[in-house]
Amino acid sequence: MTAAKLRRDIAATIAKLAARGLYFGTAGNISARTATGFLITPTGIPSEDIRPADMVAVDMRGRHKGKLLPSSEWHFHRAIYRDRADVKAIVHTHSTFATVMSCLRRDIPGFHYMVAKAGGPAIRCARYATFGTEALARNAVAALGRRRACLLANHGLIAAGPTLAAARRLAEEVEALCEQYWAALAIGRPVLLPSAEMTRVVVKFRSYGRQPKTD
């Protein structure tokens, strides 16, 4: 995929998340892997004003090209790409319910089988660190592990995937799960699925949604 197409796709991802109320103002950032590093949203520009040409190219040494500066969170994007060859795109939002749960510093446990879509029996909450730091990058990598999503304490969520579309959809699904968990906690104590069942569902999701090939 060309850099120009990636730039357009990042802008389109912002628009889709904003339309769902999950991405607003300057809260959040999105990136996509390139051959030499990644393209990422610029810092300090409101989401509604970001154009495809504004995406900033950053290499794996943290050097950037162009007049605009990259998102202040470029550190954890680079750290995740370094740690996970399977990750090609990262979506970070401050969506409401994921942020609420991150402020409680709660993991999202297996209260619903869809939690397993993030790659494990729970969605972990990373330890707190100041935004835009290497400490936050280390904490994000540790919380993700081999999974595809995590919360950042007192901050928001990270969703990673093989494509921008996959990372965006996962961010939307994690936000929905956080809202559902919040609602369940408001009524009482959610019944958690057994660990053996969550393990089965994690395995099932590895082949979930694959359609047979057609001629």
Q: Which residues are catalytic?
A: 73
Long-range contacts: 189-195, Cβ < 8 Å, 24+?
A: 190/109, 190/111, 191/111, 192/109, 192/110, 192/111, 193/110, 193/111, 193/112, 193/113, 195/110, 195/121
Contact between residue 141 and residue 77 where contact means Cβ atoms under 8 Å apart: no
DSSP H or E stretch at residue 126: strand 125-126
Q: How many helices (H) and strands (E) does the chain have?
A: 6, 8
What is the DSSP pairing of strand 156-161 with strand 64-65?
unpaired
The pair of three-digit structure tokens given for residue 32, joined into one six-digit string: 């996509």
Q: Name the β-bridge partners of 89.
A: 32, 161
**Secondary structure letter of residue 64 according to DSSP:** E
Distance CA 196, CA 192 (A): 11
